[in-house]
Amino acid sequence: MNNHPQPCGTLPIFKAAWIVTAVFILSNAATPLYTHWQQNLGFASGTLTLIFGCYILGLLLTLAVAGQLADHFGRKALLLPGIGIAIISALLFEQANSVALLMLARLLSGISVGIVVSAGMANVVEHASESRKPFASLIASVSMVLGAGTGPLLAGLIAQFMPDPVSMVFNVEIALLVLALVVVLCQPNRKLGSGRFRPHLPSVARKHLGVVAQGVSFFGPGLTATCFVLALGPKLLANLLQANSPLIAGAMAFVMFLTAVGVQFAAKKRGMKLIFVLSGLSTIAAMASLWGALQSGCAALLVISAMLAGAGQGLGQLGGLTLIANNIAPQRRAEANAIFNMGGYIAAGIIPVVTGYLIDLFGIHVAISVLAAVIAILALLALSVLLRNHRAHSCDAGQPA
């Protein structure tokens, strides 16, 4: 492996983070536009969530290989095609006149996000000195969440006030992606691997399995809750709360992710146990609020649910990424990031899609009640395992040598 001078300063960290932000703006820019496409193309809730599921599918397939490719060939070698695919996705969204094109655009956006999650997040951390790695981990996490929240707000604003919102939204996104492409082109490519590349299923050392699993157990339920808001939040606002506004839908998603950013900054110096406990409790409270909004038809409760879901995801993500940065060597970090995100996105892809079809079959009340219960149970199980392990470690530490 080549040796390189230790990076210094914060500007390289923020420049690397912009790459992540630009691609994640695309990832959720479609959220406030779903009702527009649904009305024009005439598809049901199950199809709506299936379109969202194409994004998760592209993301998961990419995560299976992107981490190891980035660890071998270098971050830049993956980020360049990743941004190119994101630009193609934005062009397809702009021209989408069928469900098939929407699915393809969503699939490609998932592929680009998968590349950025694997290579881009590691790229941010590696632009920091050893003493600043925790700060860089925070910025990497925040850049992802900030982009994910900015996309729907920007799209909602444009859709509310512009006569041709789809074209405008994705033309703006293409411009942002071109700026990210310039940043990548200016970075050196630091190849970490040596010898011939041999693809394999993503893996981490046995001793690090617990590190990744602990992060996934909290990140997964929180992410599933936020994915529900992205996939079905606009429909819930329109059908249940009579608020058929792309701006409101986009603003709700933005507030959700803004909360995720805020809690990460607030918790950055806290212990891992507290971060994970707060993540689990926030996700459970989010599902309780969602159920309350469903029963009462209260828009405020739905917004509170979205904010709590953002807190659950943000804290779980911060805890998981920090554990990986602190415990796993650079040459395996991107692959570990990939496994961490795969674990979270599997549930986040399956549960909202199933909920969409349950809405078509049994109605919105039954479907969302089931969704809320499943996510809350997953978060509760993660909390119980964490507390049980903590008690076991405390007992071991208290035994005489």
Domains and CATH numbers, the chain: 11-187+208-396 (1.20.1250.20)
89-98, 225-234, 324-333, range with greatest mean pLDDT: 89-98
Which of the four pLDDT bands, split at 50, 70 and 90, describes residue 80?
Answer: very high
Element (H, E) at 235: helix 209-239
Please tell me the distance from the alpha carbon of residue 179 to that of residue 14, in angstroms, as a whole number.
13
- Indicate the range of 40-49, 93-102, 125-134, 317-326 predicted with least confidence: 125-134
> Quick one: residue 194, left, alpha or beta (phi over 0 = left, psi -120 to 50 = alpha)?
beta
111, 69 contact by CB (below 8 A): no
- Each residue's pLDDT tens digit, 296-331: 888 888 899 999 999 999 999 889 988 888 888 877
CA angle 272, 273, 275 (to 5 degrees): 65
Instruction: Give me the percent of the chain exceeding a pLDDT of 90.
Output: 36
Residue 370 has pLDDT above 70, yes or no: yes
DSSP 268: T
Token readout for 356 is 């969409």
Place of tokens 């940065």: 325
Which of the four pLDDT bands, split at 50, 70 and 90, describes residue 397?
Answer: low
Place of tokens 């970075």: 187
105, 96 contact by CB (below 8 A): yes
Place of tokens 């960290």: 13
Token readout for 364 is 């919105």
Q: What is the pTM of this model?
A: 0.79
